[in-house]
Amino acid sequence: MSEIRVNKVIDEAGTGAVELTQGATLPSGKTITGSGTIAVNSSGTAAGLSGTPDISVGTISASGNVTIGGTLTYNDVTNIDSVGLITARNGIHVTSGITSIKGAAEKVNAGSYAGGILTLDAATGTVFTHDLQGQTVGLVSITNFPVVTNSFHTVTVIYNQNSAGTGNTTAATGISTNITLNPAGASGFSTTGLCGTGTTVTLSTTAEDFDIVTYGIHYNGSGSGAVGNYKVFVTKSGDFRY
């Protein structure tokens, strides 16, 4: 095999590139650099690309579909139209133009009831129901909610009053008087909810009424195991009936 050693190769006129009529073969690990153009084959696609090469480009324009088997990493994107799940590791910052964020409907769970204690497990959701027929609540226990610094986590219960309208209607058994918090990764402790008026939230005294009670838990981040670092705000929208 012959070998030619030169510094530059140009066409016969001395003004253009050399045409490689039968193509060219580069040894493994070698590249062609410069501002020239890589020739394409007769089908219009790039010639000589095979295997899994790394390609660095400035702009990609596709009139069809682009399939990525791994991870797409990007800095700034003008538009994203996705039919699947988008995960943003460092959050989403929206400056303008947002219309709505749509997702699956919130699952409603039945609160777990035993011995007068209504347990609301935040690991299963944030909306619960409880039927007061024979199940008067003496204590509300909210468990497994996250303890992120300066966070506010809400848990909502739809209470259905009993057939006599007597469940949880006095201050002693008010729905916000006795609350137990059991944060994720911390021991539980007892507290009392803060209310807009009075000392507790009481439910409707009309039979079969519905009351929607929301427990908002603020954690200041100063130690997840200390009750003094939490405040529970209790609000009610009530007296709903047919």
| Residue 108: predicted pLDDT | 94
Q: Contact 38/17 with Cβ under 8 angstroms?
A: no
| Residue 239: predicted pLDDT | 94
| Residue 158: predicted pLDDT | 97
List, for residues 84-132, the tens digit of each pLDDT value. 777 777 667 777 776 677 777 888 999 999 989 999 999 999 999 999 9
| Residue 27: predicted pLDDT | 73
Sign of CA dihedral 188, 194, 198, 201: negative
Nearest to 157 by CA among 145, 133, 141: 141
**What is the bridge-based pairing of β-strands 210-219 and 151-160?**
antiparallel
| Residue 78: predicted pLDDT | 72
Rounded CA-CA distance 178/158 in Å is: 18
| Residue 132: predicted pLDDT | 93
Main-chain phi, psi angles of 173, to 5 degrees: -120, 20
| Residue 163: predicted pLDDT | 93
Rounded CA-CA distance 98/119 in Å is: 37
Q: Contact 157/130 with Cβ under 8 angstroms?
A: yes
**Where do the domains of the chain lie?**
109-240
pTM, two decimal places: 0.62
